[in-house]
Amino acid sequence: MINANKQKLQDFFQGNLQFEIPFFQRAYVWSEENWTIFWDHLIGEVEAYEKGLQSEHFIGTVITKQKENKNLSENIVELIDGQQRLTTITVFLKALADTSKGDLPNLRESIESLLWFKDSYSEKHYRMIHSRIDKPNFHQIMEAPEEIEEQDNSSIIKAYQYFVEKLGSYTDDQREMIKQVLLHKVPIISMLLDKDDDEQEIFDTINSLGVRLTIAELLKNYLFKDKELIEHYEEEWQSVFENDEELVEFWSTVRSSGRVKRDNIELLLYCMLIIETKKEVRLEKLFSEYKLHLKDMALDQKKQFLLSLNDLANLYLEMPQKEQLVEIGYKDDIKRFFHLLENLEITTIFPLVLYLYSNITDDQELKRCFKILESYIALRQICKFTTKNYNNLFIQIIRSLDKIKIQKNIESYDLLDILKSFKDFGNRLPTTIEVQEAFQSSVLSNKQAGAILYIIALKDIDSEYSDTKTLSSKSFSVEHMMPKKWEENWSDESLDELSRFKRKQKILTMGNLTLITKNLNSKLRNQSWESKKQTLSEFSSLKMTTSFLNHENWNEESITERGELLCRKALEIWNIE
C-alpha cells in the first residue's frame, strides 16, 4: 500500500485524475434512502458553516489502485471500493451545475470542470470511467440530461432527478456555498494501492471488518483476477448477472429464509456450492468456502465451473418468483409448489430444486417430483414437524439421487422412495393419523395456516362449473370463525374453567381458521356468530367458509367437524402415495 490518509473531496476532482470502475464491480445501486442521508449530512454541514461552527462530516473510505498508464497525460486509478459514494457525488455535482440560474456567470463552468477535463487535443475525459452497465446512463446525464425519459428506472438517472428536485429552489450563491462545503468540509479516507498490491486481500480485510461487500463481488474478483479467465467474463458472468438493470435488480432482490435475509445471487451461489460438493455449506462463510473449493482447480476446471454456474443461474431465473406466485390456479402445479416455498420461507430446499431442474429433462417427471416435495413440506408443516434439519436433509437427498444418476435417469419414484425411507422424526413423512390429529390440535402461525388454506381454497374452485379458477393470495387474510376474544360476544356461562381453557386452545386450530378478504377482516372483528354469519353470507365466496354458515351455533363440535373436512381435502391434495 502506498498510503492511507484523510483527504478533502477537492483532491479527487482536479488535474487529470480519473477513476475507472473495474469490470468486476457491481452496478450503481444506491437508492433514495442513501441519497437522503447524503443530502441531509451535506446540508447540515452547510448550516454549520453559515453559523461559523468548526465542523466536518466524514463520508467514508475510498480505495484505489494505481494503473500502469499508457502515456504521461493519463492518471487513471482503479476504484476498488467507494464507487457508490463517488458516483453519487459526481451525479450531485452535475445536478448542481444543471440547476444553476446564470446569476453567477462562471458557476456552471467551474462545477463542470470538476466532472471532466480536456487534454491538449480538446478531447473530453470524464472524471469517472463507468463499467458497461452504468456507462450509457452516466453519459446520458453528463451529455444530454434533458433527453431523459420519465419512465427510466436507472438508479443513476433517478439519483440525478432526486438532486435536481432538491436543488431547484436554491440561489446560485447558495449553490456556490454548497459546492465549496462539499469539496472542503466532507472529507474522505483515501487508500491508494500500488499496481502490484493484491486488492483481493483488501477486499477480504474490508469484509472481515463488517463492511458489506457482496459474496458475488468477492467471488467475481477472486475468479477474474486470473487473466486467462477474463475472456469468459462477458459470456459466462456478465450475460446472466449484469447484462441489464433488470437482471442486476433481480439478483440483488432479498429473500427471507426464516429470520435470515439473503439476496438471490447469494442463494444461487449457496446452491451451486452444495450441488458441486454435496456437502453442507455455511452461508455466513460462503466466500471462504468458495476459496477453498476453487483454490486448487486447474484453469480448465475453473472454466467448467463458470459454465456450470451460468447454466444454474439460468435455471434459477426460470423458477417462478414473487409476483408470478400471487394469483395462481390449482392446476398450476409448479407455481403452486413455489408459492408454498415462498410463503413458508423455505429456501434451504433450493439446492435440491435446482439439482432436479438440472437432472430431469422430462417435464412431467419434474412436475411429479415437485408434487412429492410439496406434499412432504405441506404435511410436515401441518403436523408442525421441525424444519431445523432441512438443510442437511435436502443435501442427503441430493447425494442419494446422485448415486442413482450413475446407473440410470432419475425419476420421481426414486425421490419418493428416498423420502419414504426416512424413519427419524426430524425427516420422516407424517402418517395419516398424525395429519388427522394435527388438524384438531396443531396451532400454526397465520402465515403458515394461510399458505395451507390458500391451496385448499384453490382445490375447491378447481371445477368446470367455477366462474374463476384462480385466486389472488394478496387479497386474503386468515380469520378465526370464533374470535380469539370470544368472551365479548360468544359468552357461555355453562363453561367451567377447564372448558374455557380447552376452547381457547381449540379456536387456534385449523378447523376454526378460514380465509377472508382483507377489507372484510376489520369489519368482522369480534362479532357474534349471528352477525358474523350474515356478514360472511353476504361477502364471502370461498367454499371453506360458506358451506358452514348454516350452523345454528359455532362451537367446539363445529370446529372439529370442519377440521375433519379440511383434513380430508388436504390428504386428497397432498397424497404422497
What is each CA distance from 284 to 138, 156, 263, 467, 526, in whole angstroms?
Answer: 34, 31, 13, 49, 45
Q: H/E/C letters for each residue in 351-407?
A: HHHHHHHHHCCCHHHHHHHHHHHHHHHHHHHHCCCCCCCHHHHHHHHHHHHHHHHHH
**71, 123 Cβ separation under 8 angstroms:** no
| H or E, element range at 470 | strand 470-472
- Report the phi/psi class of residue 189: left, alpha or beta, with left for phi > 0 and alpha for psi in -120 to 50: beta
Question: How high is the pLDDT of residue 231?
Answer: 87
CA distance 231 to 236: 9
Q: What is the pLDDT of residues 400-452, one digit of tens each?
A: 999 999 999 999 999 999 999 999 988 999 999 999 999 999 999 999 999 99
Beta-carbon count within 10 A of 143 CB? 11
Query: pTM for the whole thing?
Result: 0.73
pLDDT tens per residue, the chain (577 residues)? 556 688 899 999 998 899 998 766 677 889 999 999 999 999 999 999 999 988 888 888 888 887 776 666 678 888 888 889 999 999 999 999 999 999 999 999 999 999 999 888 888 889 999 877 788 999 999 998 888 887 677 899 999 999 999 999 999 999 999 999 999 999 988 888 776 666 556 655 555 444 456 788 888 878 887 888 988 988 999 899 988 878 888 998 888 766 677 889 999 999 999 999 999 988 778 888 999 999 999 999 999 999 999 999 999 999 998 889 999 999 999 999 999 999 999 999 999 999 999 999 999 999 999 999 999 999 999 999 999 889 999 999 999 999 999 999 999 999 999 999 999 988 999 999 999 999 999 999 999 999 999 999 999 999 877 778 899 999 899 999 988 888 777 777 778 889 888 989 999 999 999 999 877 766 677 788 888 888 888 888 899 999 999 998 899 999 999 999 999 999 999 987 6
Cα distance from N-terminal residue to C-terminal residue, the chain: 65
Question: How high is the pLDDT of residue 257?
Answer: 65
Q: What is the pLDDT of residues 40-71, one digit of tens each?
A: 999 999 999 999 988 888 888 888 887 776 66
**366, 357 Cβ separation under 8 angstroms:** yes
User: Which residues, other chains included, contact 365 with Cβ-Cβ below 8 Å and sequence gap of 6+?
Assistant: 410, 411, 412
Question: How high is the pLDDT of residue 211?
Answer: 45
Q: Is the dihedral of CA 307, 309, 313, 319 positive or negative?
A: positive
Question: How high is the pLDDT of residue 3?
Answer: 60
Among 543, 555, 542, smallest CA distance to 512 is for 555
CA distance 548 to 537: 10
CA distance 186 to 171: 21
Task: Find the radius of gyration of the CA atoms of the chain.
Answer: 30
Strand partners, 478: 515
Among 5, 13, 4, 244, smallest CA distance to 128 is for 13
**204, 222 Cβ separation under 8 angstroms:** no
Q: What is the pLDDT of residues 513-539, one digit of tens each?
A: 999 987 776 667 778 888 888 888 888
Among 472, 498, 451, 183, smallest CA distance to 338 is for 451
Report the SS3 class of residue 17: strand
CA distance 531 to 538: 11
Among 154, 162, 175, smallest CA distance to 110 is for 175
Question: How high is the pLDDT of residue 68?
Answer: 74
Question: What phi, psi does 256 have (nearest 5°)?
Answer: -95, 140
